[in-house]
């Protein structure tokens, strides 16, 4: 059975608020930019400084490297190719390529200098040929997930959404973000998701919930909402072809 909400929920909630954001910025220590020459067709996507940057910065600060804000691009028409997508972040002095992740999404870089320069994203497609979704992408290694880590990440993610919105939107945020979960997924229905504590198997669970991953592929998942009564130290053993989604 398909879940009623989508992995793009976080971005939908905060989208209108950050359009008007104008954060104070300073160069980040150790920040490096690779200058590249962009050839071929390129168009501006959406403004980086006023939209992507404040959201990505807030996620970075709230979730401490456990998850990041990413852009997912989908074709608006069947004949539009997306396998050759290229994105660059451009400031006044530098242009840097934004590499796609294995799942096909583009993690939004947090570059204070480009935000100060009112930089923007370039793309090798026409804007009208693509729809833009923003997703939260977990960054932990597959063997780095524990029940305690799941609880902590979900608590912080829910709190981060609340801090980005005005008070009058918070009741809606609470009602929606409480559904946020960490989903362990496989392309095989009922693949085993095992919880272990040291050498002891705590539970073996089936990935049976049908969802769509960031690449819009059908996957079967076992979702954790943070309220599970398993020991915090229990480690999640991800299926061999598995992926972890935050949705």
DSSP 170-227: HHHHHHHHTT--EEEEESSTTEEEEEEETTEEEEEEEE-EEEE-TTS-EEEEEEE-S-
Q: Are 196 and 237 in contact (CB under 8 A)?
A: yes
Q: How many CA atoms lie within 13 A of 4 on its CB side?
A: 3
As given in the structure block, the two tokens for residue 83 are 């396998």
DSSP 121-176: EEESS-GGGEEEEEEEEE-S-GGG-BHHHHHHHHHHHHHHHHHHS-GGGHHHHHHH
Q: Are 174 and 213 in contact (CB under 8 A)?
A: no
- Per-residue pLDDT, 176: 55
Q: What three-state secondary structure class fits 49?
A: helix
pTM of this structure: 0.76
Nearest Cα residue to 103 out of 209, 217, 10: 217
**In Å, what is the CA distance from 28 to each residue of 22, 31, 112, 146?**
17, 5, 6, 31
- Per-residue pLDDT, 175: 56
- Per-residue pLDDT, 171: 61
- Per-residue pLDDT, 188: 96
d(Cα 137, Cα 67) in Å, to the nearest integer? 5
d(Cα 157, Cα 62) in Å, to the nearest integer? 7
In the predicted model, residues of the chain with pLDDT beneath 50 are 1-40
């Amino acid at each position: 059975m398909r879940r009623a909400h989508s992995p793009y929920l976080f971005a939908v909630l905060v989208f209108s608020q950050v359009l008007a954001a104008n954060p104070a910025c300073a160069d980040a220590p150790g920040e490096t930019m690779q200058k590249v020459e962009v050839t071929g067709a390129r168009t501006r996507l959406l403004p980086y400084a006023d939209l992507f940057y404040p959201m990505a910065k807030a996620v970075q600060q709230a979730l401490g490297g456990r998850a990041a804000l990413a852009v997912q691009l989908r074709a608006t028409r069947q004949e539009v190719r997306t396998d050759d997508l290229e994105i660059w972040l451009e400031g006044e002095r530098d242009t840097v390529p934004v590499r796609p992740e294995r799942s096909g999404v583009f993690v939004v870089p947090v570059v204070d200098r480009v935000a100060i320069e009112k930089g923007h994203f370039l793309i090798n497609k026409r804007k009208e040929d693509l729809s833009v979704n923003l997703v939260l992408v977990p960054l932990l290694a597959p063997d780095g997930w524990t029940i305690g880590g799941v609880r902590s990440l979900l608590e912080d993610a829910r709190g981060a959404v609340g801090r980005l919105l005005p008070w009058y939107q918070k009741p809606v945020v609470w009602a929606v973000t409480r559904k946020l979960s960490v989903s362990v997924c496989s392309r095989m229905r009922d693949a085993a998701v095992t919880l272990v504590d040291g050498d002891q198997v705590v539970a073996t669970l089936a990935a049976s919930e049908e969802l769509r991953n960031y690449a819009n592929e059908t996957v079967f998942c076992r979702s954790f909402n943070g309220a599970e009564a398993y020991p915090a130290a229990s480690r999640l053993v991800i299926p061999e072809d598995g992926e972890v989604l935050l949705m």
